[in-house]
Structure 1
């Protein structure tokens, strides 16, 4: 018989974290996250997202043995978002889902739903772990290769168990894979060259020594560019501080570009070397020697893959030719440096909403292909 109970003690928290390592140990493409990072994510005192959200972690046990886990949570900012863009009034979420079998999955999801209904919520989205800015969606396509930094990976049969609980797809997110060792198609090269001749355009590297100022510029563009997107929830200052602290070690000036037109910042592109390549051999542990290996890698990272997690152009330019021109220029400049300075051979763009026609057109133009698909499911409670 399955018993589901709230996480209440430090031992419970350790069991909650440990379960994912046990259940995914046999999957060669699962990358064990650093345990310290997981612990920080689920700790309300250390994750700025909890400044506008609350949640509960649950463990499932069979005969005293932990066989599953889930989180149930509600984001008060998400409740204020328009309902036609994903969240809205009455919408709660669950995530951090792991289960040994279908019976356990059903018990966990049912418990999460009960928690949400007791909060007065009428609709559930999941899995979202925990914020939409962290790891949204269940991997439903692309199990044959590891995820890149900050992307999720799960067992294939989880989809069947979620759908058996009455859930249907609400939104799909995709990532695109491309070879970056060669030149882009001639038409893209001509667009980049034309942009270089335009005196109004400047594509510059960020200056990490001015981290906060550069982050503020990017955040301003992001909020404007992404404000109408499905699932958008504005980042709060505590979250911004957390993101900055976590990402700063893998921020490199030449991998992040800001596009200016007539001196005004109007677009940005963030690229990260795939940290998963460095942490995969560590098994989730920094000690006793993992920290030294990771610090050495961070000093001069050599990464096969570069991930583009965020890219944006201000709304007023999004339907213009200049928007795609700026995007192609930033992509090309970063591509050159990624190959020459970091030894990269592969790029991954995403996640991208599956109906984001602008980004899909850019991905198609540089001859990339969908390599992973993530699905966010929904159910009326």
Structure 2
């Protein structure tokens, strides 16, 4: 077997092709867009390179066939925490062979050790956790856009190497066939009626700067007490909003304001993977035209709730329920969507899981973020 660190354009393309090779017979897999994966490793497009670094490897067998890949990265803003120095691995793919997977993991771990890392998390993304995060261990059905998908045997490969579960990421789902839960609707409408100082605003792409500022303030306040949290910057939010602009439905991104103060938000995205499955990762001109046409025909029938949050002082007001209600009311009225995916929520986030239960959602997928202690 030949392990190659990615250094040139040919090797960058091979890194993308590894997944196409390993999943070519898997009917559930959706090839991520090449442009999305390449953006993760492009310092001009990924702001994490301002305070971190990353590298990649591909693995070939003796015949030159692609059989694996892996990436390693370190984010200096989050690396040093609680007497640990934390790095990450991600984009791990391998044939079902412990020798092959060990070669890949050894390379990534070795690179991180050179940077004095003592703790390795994976598989994770070199960016925020809304995409390509965690190992799928339950629910091997077609993934929604940005959600990690992998072969079932990866669990054994990582655990046999020594990785242990750090946290579970729960995804639940429900359908809109019978409308929203009456109890949930009653709670949301009650909150709106008794709070005249509450204002709900739909995201407007033309006002991206102001909404990015509000998103940043709410997000940084909502997640401040979580382990190893680093505040996001406005430029990252603007970059994210611009990235999703071609696929976003403004009615599925809602903000709540209390006495004019940004208080909470919810961001849902149409599951464009239902269209991207046809593209095999290639977003050329023809596929862009196909995407625009298919999106207009209401081809998409699933929505993914990507992220929601509220400032701590507003967290007992039921704002998340109100925002979710507004999004799904828009969905029922204006789209052909029937399936709602609520992804992913850490097993430590009981408040958000309670909202899922209130909606009548049922378990659909589970991912695991693993951790390897090197000392």
TM-score tier (shorter): over 0.9
By how many angstroms is 1:157 displaced?
0.3
| Cα distance between partner residues in 1 of 2:260 and 2:242 | 28
Structure 2 partner of 1:373: 366
SS at match of 2:217: helix
Structure 2 partner of 1:259: 256
Asked if residue 53 in structure 1 is aligned to residue 46 in structure 2, the reply is no
SS at match of 1:239: helix
- The 8 Å contact of residues 215 and 237 in structure 2, kept in 1 or not, is answered as no
2:89 to 88, 94, 98: 94
Structure 1 partner of 2:171: 175
1:115 to 111, 115, 119: 111
* 1:126/1:260 CA distance change after superposition, 3 Å: same
| Cα distance between partner residues in 1 of 2:300 and 2:260 | 33
- The 8 Å contact of residues 122 and 370 in structure 2, kept in 1 or not, is answered as yes
| Cα distance between partner residues in 2 of 1:177 and 1:12 | 38
By how many angstroms is 1:192 displaced?
2.0
- The 8 Å contact of residues 216 and 234 in structure 2, kept in 1 or not, is answered as no
Structure 2 partner of 1:142: 139
* 1:277/1:231 CA distance change after superposition, 3 Å: farther
Render the CA deviation track for 1:19-60: whole Å, top value 9, x for unaligned. 111101111111111222222222223322212210111122
By how many angstroms is 1:343 displaced?
0.8
Unaligned runs of 5+ in 1: none
Matches within 5 A, 1:127-206: 127-133=123-129, 134-143=131-140, 145-198=141-194, 199-206=196-203
SS at match of 1:284: coil
Structure 2 partner of 1:106: 102
Asked if residue 10 in structure 1 is aligned to residue 5 in structure 2, the reply is no
Render the CA deviation track for 1:94-141: whole Å, top value 9, x for unaligned. 111011122111111111111111111111111112224332111111
* 1:132/1:256 CA distance change after superposition, 3 Å: closer
By how many angstroms is 1:61 displaced?
2.3
SS at match of 1:131: coil
Matches within 5 A, 1:288-307: 289-298=286-295, 301-307=298-304
Aligned length: 370
| Cα distance between partner residues in 2 of 1:273 and 1:19 | 27
SS at match of 2:278: helix
Normalised to the residue count of structure 1, the TM-score between the two structures is 0.92
By how many angstroms is 1:230 displaced?
3.9
| Cα distance between partner residues in 1 of 2:364 and 2:252 | 22
| Cα distance between partner residues in 2 of 1:153 and 1:330 | 29
| Cα distance between partner residues in 2 of 1:289 and 1:79 | 42
| Cα distance between partner residues in 2 of 1:35 and 1:302 | 22
1:357 to 350, 353, 359: 350
Unaligned runs of 5+ in 2: none
Render the CA deviation track for 1:284-321: whole Å, top value 9, x for unaligned. 12236211111234556542111111100101222x2x
Structure 1 window deviating more from structure 2 (14-23 vs 179-188): it is: 179-188
Structure 2 partner of 1:24: 23
| Cα distance between partner residues in 2 of 1:241 and 1:49 | 14
SS at match of 1:90: strand
- The 8 Å contact of residues 175 and 371 in structure 1, kept in 2 or not, is answered as yes
* 1:280/1:270 CA distance change after superposition, 3 Å: same
Structure 2 partner of 1:219: 216
